Amino acid sequence: MGTASSMLTQYDIEEVQEHCDHLFSQQEIVSLYQRFCQLDRNAKGFISSDEFLSVPEFAMNPLSQRLLKMVDGINFKDFVAFLSAFSAKATAQHKIELIFKVYDSDRNGKVSFNDILEVLKDLSGSFMSDEQRERVLSQVLKEAGYTKDSSLTLDDFIKVLGQSELKMDVEIPVD
């Protein structure tokens, strides 16, 4: 029977907990490790894109390709750190930082009009034309006080998204 490649020691768990700023309990980290080993088929120590895509619910998510760029080849410590943004204990700022990272694909610290358009394209698929997307985005940007040429920074994101409650929590099933 295939089991986890190695059991986590108490030291390992504490190290991972440190790395994710204690956003997960020790039990949750053990659960996540079991899940990590299930996804990491040949016990390589990291999960490849292909293995993420073997989860059909993930593969059919409109943002899966963007997320794959962030998690391809991820090891366990970073896996937990990535998911920590979805912990109920994470701050709104932490969550918004992740959202910003998803938009800012070239990692230059700024999100341009085109960056937002790209994400919109993933979310809307063939159900909206490029023209429609540009029109909608320009309109809401203007109403929020920005222009087509403005680049949004993390602070802008915090200002815009920080207003309302962000529902971005995922519960880790614990046996």
Partner 1 sequence: MMRKTNPKSQSTELELDQPNIEDYLPSGHTIHQEPHGKLRLCDLLDISPTLSEAAGAIVDDSFLRCFKSIRSEPWNWNVYLFPLWCFGVVIRYLILFPARVLLLSFGWMIFLSAFIPVHLLLKRDNSVRKNIERCLVEMICGFFVASWTGVVKYHGPRPSMRPKQVFVANHTSMIDFIILEQMTAFAVIMQKHPGWVGLLQNTILESVGCIWFNRTEAKDREIVARKLREHVQGADNNPLLIFPEGTCVNNHYSVMFKKGAFELGCTVCPVAIKYNKIFVDAFWNSRKQSFTKHLLQLMTSWAVVCDVWYLEPQNQKPGETSIEFAERVREIISQRAGLKMVPWDGYLKYSRPSPKLREGKQRNFVESVLRRLEEK
Q: Footprint of partner 1 on this chain (CB under 8 A)? A: 1-2, 32, 35, 38-39, 52-64, 67, 71, 83, 86, 95, 98-99, 102-103, 116, 119-120, 123-128, 136-137, 139-141, 143-144, 146, 157, 160-161, 163-164, 166-173
Q: CB of residue 61 vs partner 1: minimum separation in angstroms?
A: 4
Could you identify the residue written with the tokens 């020691």? 9
Closest Cα partner for 105 from 63, 167, 50?
A: 63
What stretches of the chain show up as alpha helix (H) in DSSP?
Answer: 10-19, 26-39, 49-53, 56-59, 64-71, 76-83, 92-103, 113-124, 130-143, 154-161
Closest Cα partner for 119 from 104, 139, 132, 131?
A: 104
Which residue's CB is nearer to partner 1, number 18 or number 169?
169
DSSP string, 121-148: HHHHGGGS-HHHHHHHHHHHHHHTT--T
Six-digit token string for 9 = 């020691």
Q: CB of residue 14 vs partner 1: minimum separation in angstroms?
A: 21
Which residue's CB is nearer to partner 1, number 11 or number 164?
164
Q: CB of residue 103 vs partner 1: minimum separation in angstroms?
A: 8
Which residue's CB is nearer to partner 1, number 11 or number 131?
131
CB 113 within 8 A of CB 142: no
Which residue's CB is nearer to partner 1, number 13 or number 120?
120
Q: CB of residue 143 vs partner 1: minimum separation in angstroms?
A: 7
Q: CB of residue 124 vs partner 1: minimum separation in angstroms?
A: 5
First to last CA, the chain: 19
Which residue's CB is nearer to partner 1, number 19 or number 121?
121
